Structure 1
Amino acid sequence: MTGFSLYIGEEDKRIAQTWCHLEEFLAEGESPIVLTPGAAMSQEKFFFEAVLQACQSLGRRALLLSPYLQKIPLGLPRTIKHFNYLPLWRQLPHTSALVYHGGIRACAQALQNGVSQLRMPLAYEQFANANRVKRFGVGYFLDLRAFTAVLLVDKLHDLTASELIRVSCQKIAENFGNEGVINKTCDLIAAMSNVRIVAL
């Protein structure tokens, strides 16, 4: 693996105030589980209700990330915080596990930060990536029909308590540097094909 070329844009400029609120929440207790179903998911309310029930059963704090207020359960306890938006690359270093649909960018950022993952793949490459994450020993996946609070309790407990998963996440993160990724990739391709490639 040569790495993953991650683009970090101008996100910080528009979340300065939000970040202050997040820091207050983070200072109140243990690292939260982050829940983000993805922009295209239509079952968000079902997703949040199932995971929140599991988090409360485990006594875990959680962050909900979604711009759709109508999908957020009412009456959230103090241990659960909702934000319309947060860039994952800022939040993941303070996260105990990531629960999401399995998009490639979120996956790469979780791997880079050594964060365990629970995925609910819905389409496209998400199923193949879910299998890879499980094979790496850094997470699990549940399909839509199995995404229940009962099964989530079991999976989330493992993701936040297993020393084996923690070590696997750390090993992946240590080998996931994104500096010079394009040049490394070009060099590898060139070495395999005996052709000199120059990155633009």
Structure 2
Amino acid sequence: LLSYNRIKSVPKEISNCVSLERLELAVNRNICDLPPQLSDLKKLSHIDLCMNQFTTIPSALLNMPSLEWLDMGGNKLRELPDAIDRMENLHTLWLQRNEITSLPETIGNMKNLSTLVLSNNKLTDIPACMKDMTNLRFVNFRDNPLELEVTLPPCENAEEEEQQEMFGIEFMHMYIQESLQKTGNLENCTSDPSVKNTND
């Protein structure tokens, strides 16, 4: 555990820790890259890099198919690499409080991803490919300047309302449906009164 320190860089010698399974580097505030040798750690499945200075996802992480859990919230990420789907076993990805403006189409290939947090970014759209991410169980798009405003249908009871995620899975699917309707890419789709365009 190396979180909450003032570490500025990660030495390449970390690759000698062949049995390492978790790497905690959160809130060091100065780390901006990782050595490529990190990908030699075949047992490493959990990495916490939140609250640092990363502007992109390090290439070392893209070469780690064993990686299952990654937190890069509170960095300075502006975009995600097209090769993000190379992290094929990733099931949890935290990217909140960054500066991400768009998502690559390849994110739809991350079939094992079940949790994706994208709150407090600069996203203006949600790619249609995400509708096919059938394993996705939790997603959060809260506090993004999305072009379309989607209002979820009213809940029938208090229990249903408590379980409803205002910017979660249902929101995502309704947003994609409205976006496809607007661009004419969704055939035989009737208008939903609960979805409205803020530009109207």
Q: Same fold (TM over 0.5)?
A: no
What TM-score results when the alignment is normalised by the length of structure 2?
0.28
Q: Which has the higher contact order (CA 8 A, sep 6+)?
A: 1
What TM-score results when the alignment is normalised by the length of structure 1?
0.28
